[in-house]
Amino acid sequence: MTTHRILVATSNPGKLRDFAGVAEAHGVSIEMVPDFSSLTQVVEDGATFDANARKKAEAYSLAVPGELILADDSGLEIDALGGAPGVYSARYASADPHKLDSNVKDEANNARVLRELNGIPMEKRTAQFVCVLAAARDGTTMNTFRGVVEGVILDFPRGHNGFGYDPLFYFPQAGKTLAELTAVEKSRYSHRGAAFRRFLEWLNSGNPGST
């Protein structure tokens, strides 16, 4: 397999760890978009994960002409909450989750989820993590890749390796929460790992097309 350097448009250390965990097994190097912190932050005002991923990928790719870059949007969808928090996952505990600059700490978001699920039996606490990756070059999205992992929301956090809602998300196949897995273990099961593997299949197909 050809060795590739993949530029990712994020400064989130948890996301970078997740991508690196998948990339390690494929001889791929993960790097942040150069000078990412100095770039104008893209407003994530899309109604879907796909819309936000595309918007970020297209905007940030303009900062690295000719390079293929990746951007993702991801979140948690809980069936008992009608699919919430969804695209508002990072700011769910905010007084106004619709306010675009209102991201709050992971612990606060987890606490709100636990409050809203209080009294709901475990068999009805099913949920899924969703990740959409967009690959763009020179302001144009070339393709998108979706990954989903299904699990159950616990009534208490477990593990310290993940971020976001990982400590609450129990994955039955592994018998652990996502926060109890190492980065490499998590890459085998996670939504981000699934989306990234689909991206690598496309990248290595020899003829990456557009959508």
Compute the distance between CA of residue 202 and CA of residue 185 in angstroms, rounded to an integer.
23
Q: What is the pLDDT of residue 71?
A: 96
Compute the distance between CA of residue 31 and CA of residue 167 in angstroms, rounded to an integer.
26
Q: What is the pLDDT of residue 73?
A: 95
Q: What is the pLDDT of residue 3?
A: 60
3-state secondary structure (DSSP) of residue 36: helix
Q: Which one of the listed residues 18, 35, 45, 73 is annotated catalytic? A: 73
Q: What is the pLDDT of residue 210?
A: 43
- List, for the chain, all residue ranges whose pLDDT scores fall below the cut of 50: 1-2, 210-211
Compute the distance between CA of residue 111 and CA of residue 174 in angstroms, rounded to an integer.
24
The whole-model pTM stands at 0.88
Neighbours of 107 (CB within 10 A): 10
Catalytic site residue 73? yes
- Mind listing the domains of the chain with CATH numbers? 5-203 (3.90.950.10)
Q: What is the pLDDT of residue 208?
A: 58
